[in-house]
Amino acid sequence: MKNQEIARIFNEIADRLEIKGENLFRIRAYRRAALNVEGLPKNIEDVPEKELVKVPGIGRDLAGKIHEYLTSGKIQAYEELKNEMPKELLTLLSVPSLGPKTAKLLYDTLHVESLDELERLASEHKLAGLPGIKEKTEENILKGLATLKRGKERRPLGRVLPLAEDILGYLRKHAPVNNIDIAGSLRRRKDTIKDIDLLATSDRPAEAMKVFTRHPEVKEILAQGPTKSSIIINADLQVDLRVVPRESYGAALVYFTGSKAHNIRLREMAIRMGMKINEYGISRESDNRKLGGEREDDIYRILGLSYIPPELREDLGEIEAAAEGDLPHLVMPGDLKGDLHVHSKWSDGGNTFEQLVEAARELGYSYIAITDHSRGLAVAHGLTVERLMEQKREIQALNKKLRGFRILHGTEMDIRSDGRLDFPDSALRELDIVVASLHSGFRQSVQQLTYRMVSAMKNPYVSIVAHPTGRLIGERDAYELDMDEIFRVAGETGTALEINASPFRLDLNDISVRRAKEMGVAIVISTDTHATDQFGLMDYGVSVARRGWLEKKDILNTLPTDLLLKKLKPQSRRQAPAQSHR
Ligand code: DGT
Ligand code: CA
Ligand code: ZN
């Protein structure tokens, strides 16, 4: 598909414009277009030229560039930009903490041309002393380089899962397989993935493998045998397919789903019970008699455990809980009743309220919260108080026409660098829901960053803090925050924390979610949708919640509208005047 290629080019154009110091709006337009083209649920080559402008974030200019690429294989403006500056400069800019100014400075003065060289110079303290570069800058560069390396080894779940499902669909259609499933970390829905592990049964394994190694995306065949084949696909990702006997399928699925730590615990448990588990089945030690292994559940049942969902298989207490019959009833995608973080055309989203409502209704939702950016975030066309009130009137009018659905009026309000909020209480009071988040000053001290979050949560109108740690998977680490303090204040003030379902964020992450729950913090799962087709990202957020042991009752947007509004801060606004604390 050309979608990813175009997205890559648009991102590179944005990078190059950034080095040139061009207009921020233009740069952002390219980045947004890249995101939307990549996330487009269909092949961009199938979109007729005239329809391209209907893709959110694609105006006439960018539609023209896409058409140019699809017809000629080139974009003139991009070729010109490429000639204007060396590629090495761009390499430097790929380091998360390195801005365009610093990148240019390093290139011009020290002629740094590679990341290895940059790493050497930074670790030898050869950079500090250049204009604007302090010791702390060197530290940040080294951290950024480490993040970058990790990002190359492991990809975000959201990049890998669609590729895996594509290959799975292809094999189901073209290869002689009976069962076939995704295993490994992907089945456990870890937030980052090293490779794709597939498991199948087949009556004609050799032929199944032949079909596999002829997938149109194959770049290299690493191995091809009747029980295991490995390929590298064009996205530079390894895919392994194993074919196992039908009577071992369940045992193999447990084995290759992992995690390794979980498997080791199961094996130890089996040994204590006089049994043996491997990828072929579970058997009695004394006479080697096979007790089961065709179905996954066999293994757990015979060990006296309830079935453990793949997302929990990390040896983080799930085996003990399964032994006690104490596993959580994990939240499921169908439990969600609405999305509480949605952008419209009023700020940097691509759709009208009507389009958003229609898409949300199709998913079976009862509500969405419109949370456009606030005035401080000019690059995202943040709303002034006047515009916010205008928006409120429009939403009220639309709500009168809707049956069985409600648009909640909200904001994604910027928490400023000094901890002050971007809107006064007099404006916040007018809203159904207030989502607050940080968009600047990520490199402040732990104290300052924590202070900003805490002061936002202490505001009586702030209902939710969005993408609390600010991480961008493989690109930017979480800010340095005192998370326990954040959870404590969230619990105390009744402020909910968001699991941002955007697959490049997944923020809070699984571990934080579990900790938040233990500390009595309410959670919401939201997509931060900027275009209607992004509503579907909710499932990634649900995966994080499941990995964090959350049940339906732990998540506020599983509630119907009236109960949701009762639970969301500020509760006082919606309850009878005499507050009862029950
Ligand atoms: P990844 O690929 O790093 O994202 O994570 P996984 O969990 O998919 O790891 P991978 O691909 O190396 O192996 C797939 C599964 O195979 C793993 O979750 C458990 C199982 N496995 C691999 N090596 C071993 C091993 O040495 N011992 C045991 N018990 N299981 C293993
Ligand atoms: Ca794997
Ligand atoms: Zn947002």
For position 235, which CATH number holds?
3.30.460.10
Tell me, using a 6 A CB cutoff, whether residue 184 lines ligand 1: yes
Residue with tokens 């490049």: 504
Distance separating alpha carbons of residues 507 and 527, to the nearest angstrom: 11
Are residues 163 and 302 located together in one domain of the fold?
Answer: no
Of 351 and 54, the one with more pLDDT:
351
3-state secondary structure of 199: strand
Are residues 387 and 535 located together in one domain of the fold?
Answer: yes
Are residues 121 and 270 located together in one domain of the fold?
Answer: no
* The pLDDT of residue 446: 92
CA nearest neighbour of 32 among 383, 502, 363: 502
Tell me the sheet residues that pair with 156.
Answer: 192
Residue with tokens 């290869």: 175
Q: What's the 54 CA to ligand 1 centre distance in angstroms?
A: 43
Is the confidence at residue 41, as pLDDT, over 80?
A: no
Protein residue closest via CA to atom 3 of ligand 1:
194
Distance separating alpha carbons of residues 196 and 171, to the nearest angstrom: 14
Are residues 391 and 461 located together in one domain of the fold?
Answer: yes
pLDDT tens figures, 118-133: 999 999 999 888 888 8
Residue ending a domain, among 261, 294, 323, is 323
Q: Cα separations (Å) of 560 from 339, 363, 538?
A: 12, 15, 17
Structural domain contains residue 413: yes
Q: For residue 259, which ligand has an atom nearest its CA?
A: 1
Protein residue closest via CA to atom 18 of ligand 1:
258
- Mode of pairing for the β-strands spanning 464-465 and 433-438: parallel
Distance separating alpha carbons of residues 535 and 302, to the nearest angstrom: 41
Q: To the nearest whole number, what is the mean pLDDT of the chain? A: 92
Tell me, using a 6 A CB cutoff, whether residue 416 lines ligand 1: no
**Whether residue 286 has a cis bond before it, omega within 30° of 0:** no
Tell me, using a 6 A CB cutoff, whether residue 533 lines ligand 1: no
pLDDT tens figures, 411-449: 999 999 999 999 999 999 999 999 999 998 888 899 999
Q: What would you report as the CA-atom Rg of the chain, rounded to the nearest whole angstrom?
A: 26
Average pLDDT over residues 481-489: 96
Structural domain contains residue 149: no
Structural domain contains residue 150: no
- The DSSP 8-state label assigned to residue 91 in this structure reads H
pLDDT tens figures, 526-581: 999 999 989 999 999 999 999 999 999 999 999 999 999 999 998 655 443 333 34
Range of the domain at 206: 155-243
Distance separating alpha carbons of residues 408 and 365, to the nearest angstrom: 13
Is the confidence at residue 33, as pLDDT, over 80?
A: yes
**Number of folded domains in the chain?**
4
**Whether residue 508 has a cis bond before it, omega within 30° of 0:** yes
Distance separating alpha carbons of residues 437 and 464, to the nearest angstrom: 9
Structural domain contains residue 146: no
CA nearest neighbour of 379 among 421, 439, 435, 422: 439
Q: Where is average pLDDT lowest: 178-187, 302-311, 439-448?
A: 439-448
Amino acid code (one letter) for 515 = R
* The pLDDT of residue 229: 97
**Per the structure block, which two tokens stand in for 495?**
């402020």
* The pLDDT of residue 574: 47
Tell me, using a 6 A CB cutoff, whether residue 281 lines ligand 1: no
Tell me, using a 6 A CB cutoff, whether residue 482 lines ligand 1: no
Q: How far is CA 349 from the centre of its chain?
A: 18
Protein residue closest via CA to atom 8 of ligand 1:
184
Residue ending a domain, among 86, 101, 136, is 136
Residue ending a domain, among 104, 136, 168, is 136
Q: Any idea what the CATH number is for the domain that residue 55 is in? A: 1.10.150.110
Q: What's the 263 CA to ligand 1 centre distance in angstroms?
A: 9
